[in-house]
Structure 1
Amino acid sequence: MVDNFSIGLTHVLMAIALWRLLYRDDLDREVSPRMLWQQRKDAKAKEDAPGDA
């Protein structure tokens, strides 16, 4: 009984991980890590920039 539970639990957890990986938006785009880093840096700079308050 415990063996079946542990095998079933690990398979369910792997299925959940696979499901989450397959439905990520960034899997549809070919973006280099450098470009992704630059986009995040630009977005943060825009966020930190003083606005018209």
Structure 2
Amino acid sequence: MRRVAPLGSGTVQDRVALAEIELCGELIIAASAAEDRLSLESIDEVLRVGEARAESGET
């Protein structure tokens, strides 16, 4: 049987889910401010893909 936290029992956090929600929000804001579709490079910039690659040592 799988246990779940009852409603109102305190704070349950999933750091990965919260980070994804934050990035999605930033992407929505960028898309709504753009006059046209975002380029792949713009999307990578908003999602900080270059920073993630630099931190992991990828090229």
Q: Above 0.5 in TM-score?
A: no
Higher relative contact order (CA 8 A, sep 6+): 2
Q: TM (normalized to structure 2)? A: 0.36
Q: TM (normalized to structure 1)? A: 0.40
- Kindly name which structure, 1 or 2, has the bigger radius of gyration based on alpha carbons: 1
